[in-house]
């Protein structure tokens, strides 16, 4: 087993750490999901987001980027009144804006995966850090 980072304390964080965090990903829907969740996390703890993850999936149409790119004011208001997700209107509007940018990238590069992995020549960067101070 790989060493576990200090931030993974609760079971939901441990499961995320051990099964998802740092694992190479090549699925556009999942990449968009993480983009949205990371944006929603700004100023909050990752634990809060992980605990709301299923609610985010339901509220945001399972992160189907084409659907989200077409959200209108009615959908924005619905999301802003959903007590199970982060209801910050700016974060919701940014999610829609990011969905539109994501779709444009998919059209230009064939997939978001191709676009993003090109920056590291399609190989994960493996750092040799021993401690958090490194």
Residue 46 a catalytic site member? yes
Q: What is the mean pLDDT of the chain?
A: 95
Supply the pTM of this predicted model: 0.91
Which fold would CATH assign to domain 27-118? Endonuclease III; domain 1 (1.10.340)
Selected catalytic residue, list 7, 10, 20, 38: 38
pLDDT band at 131 (very low <50, low <70, confident <90, very high): confident
**pLDDT recorded at residue 128:** 81
pLDDT band at 127 (very low <50, low <70, confident <90, very high): confident
**pLDDT recorded at residue 19:** 96
Phi, psi of 66 (to 5 degrees): -65, -40
> Are the CB atoms for 93 and 76 separated by under 8 Å?
yes
Mean pLDDT of 78-101: 99
In the chain, where are the structural domains located? 27-118
Residue 38 a catalytic site member? yes
């Amino acid at each position: 087993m790989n060493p576990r980072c200090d931030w993974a304390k609760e079971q939901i964080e441990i499961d995320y750490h051990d099964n998802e965090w740092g694992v190479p990903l090549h699925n556009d829907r999942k990449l968009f999901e993480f983009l949205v969740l990371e944006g929603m996390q700004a100023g909050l703890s990752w634990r809060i987001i992980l605990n709301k993850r299923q609610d985010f999936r339901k509220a945001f149409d399972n992160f189907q980027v084409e659907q989200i790119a077409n959200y209108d004011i009615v959908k924005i208001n619905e999301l802003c009144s959903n007590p199970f997700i982060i209801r910050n209107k700016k974060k919701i509007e940014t999610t829609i804006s990011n969905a539109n940018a994501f779709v444009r990238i998919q059209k230009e590069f064939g997939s978001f995966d191709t676009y993003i992995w090109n920056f590291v020549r399609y190989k994960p960067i493996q750092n040799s850090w021993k401690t958090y101070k490194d």
